[in-house]
Structure 1
Amino acid sequence: MAYFETERLVLRPIQPTDHDQLQALILDPQVVAYVRYRSIQTPAAFDAAFTTHFLAEPRTVFGLETKRDHQLIGFYEFHMTQTTGELTYALRQSAWGHGYVAEAGTTLMAYGFDSLALERIEAHYASVNPNSGRVMAKMGMHDEGELQTHTLDNGETVHVMMYGLSRSDWRGQRHSQSA
């Protein structure tokens, strides 16, 4: 099982004791408004996802815990195909705007390229949340434009934007930073 520490965070596999904090996060409609978990709207639906996904994927799903008070503030994960990993994350609202996503994401990109042998890492965001795009750029990813447009159940049209980074570009960035 992978475990990482950054300046302010511990990135670790989700544990059974994370259930209640993660459930509160996933059932907060503002937190999941534009991520794949917005369809989980009941405790029973969350329980199923918690067991079959969050606990079952220790190599690709990580809880984000603050070092300061050891509180779970969110999660970060890879959804993988053969050579590509799509990063998805969610933070409780009180953790928004503190730089946690870029801090954890940079560490997980290194893990994805070095340990999971990914050739490419992508991240998607809804255009109505441009802060996510800025975070992806801060992590060294490249803006690749609009991926798709779809309509949510509430009738809202969402433009899904994509950022990406190849392993060779990532290595080039690391080499230029160390030079």
Structure 2
Amino acid sequence: MYPVSITSPRLSLREFDNSDVDAVLAIYGDQAVAEYMSFEPRTRDQVAATIEHVMAAAQAPERLEYSLAGVLPDGELVAFLRLAVDVGHPLQSSGQIGFAFRADQWGHGLGGEGIQLLLRLGFEQLGLYRIWGARAPGNDRSARVMARQGMVEEGTIRGHLKLAGGWRDSVVHSILAPEWDPGQD
């Protein structure tokens, strides 16, 4: 499915293009944002490589990765949102979401709208049954926004990610298609 374009009242998801590098750098290059990510702050070259990768993945014949730009109504890019379809057993129907918003957008409710857009993509357009996300144990803001969208905390994956500071756990949240309320915000 390409191109993807999904809209809510205050946020839209669209495909990335090469002009988005600096806007994504404002997200991925920020230490405050990267504190809870699975990687250290990114350089401009690393962000440019990421954009190239997601643009190529969007064109895959059997698309499994939906990395999308979160933009405000005026077109300003403020978030990087992702839904990756889990690969494995042929009957598996699940996907993992991830989201990162520019720090000056935190606390304005856009995270919930972004998650709802990813859930719409996964449940309505891709026909997934289970959607899950993982967060850093100390990321209480992410825990609250996922819970408000109906995602249930399942547990902790111990020693899940190796970062510069050592191994980090991840806390998993999920929602099933029958639990999802498309009107939730």
- Give the alignment's TM-score, normalised by structure 1: 0.84
Aligned twin of 2:45: 44
Contact 2:133 2:172 in 1 (8 A): yes
What CA deviation, in whole Å up to 9, does each residue of 1:3-54 have, x standing for no partner? 1111111211112221211122212122122223x24633222222210125
- The corresponding residue for 1:76 is 81
Among 154, 162, 165, which residue is 2:165 paired with? 154
TM superposition outliers: structure 1 runs of 4+ over 6 Å: none
Is the CA contact 2:156–2:172 (under 8 Å) kept in the aligned structure 1? yes
Aligned partner of 1:94 in structure 2 is 104
Q: Are 1:64 and 1:76, in contact at CA under 8 Å, matched by a contact in 2?
A: yes
Kindly provide the CA deviation profile for residues 116-172 of structure 1, in whole angstroms up to 9, marking residues without a partner as x: 1212100111111111011111111111121223553124x63311110122332xx
Superposed CA RMSD in Å reads: 2.3
SS in 1 for 2:34: coil
Q: Which residue of 1 aligns with 2:11?
A: 9
Match of 1:110 in 2: 120
Matching residue of 1:141: 151
CA separation in 1, counterparts of 2:7 and 2:54?
23
Structure 1 position 85 matched with structure 2 position 90: no
TM superposition shift of 1:104:
1.8
Identity %: 28
Distance (whole Å) between structure 2 residues aligned to residue 31 and residue 40 of structure 1? 8
> Which blocks of at least 5 consecutive residues in structure 1 are unaligned?
none
> For residues 56 and 24 of structure 2, what CA distance do their matches in structure 1 show?
11
Q: Is the 8 A contact 1:16 1:55 kept in 2?
A: no
**Residue 178 of structure 2, aligned match among 162, 168, 176:** 168
2:27 — aligned with what? 25
Amino acid at match of 2:155: G
> Partners in 2 of 1:3 and 1:44 — Cα distance?
27
Contact 2:130 2:175 in 1 (8 A): yes
Q: Secondary structure at the match of 1:131?
A: helix
TM-score between both structures, scaled by the size of structure 2: 0.82
Contact 2:25 2:43 in 1 (8 A): no
How many residue pairs match? The answer is 171
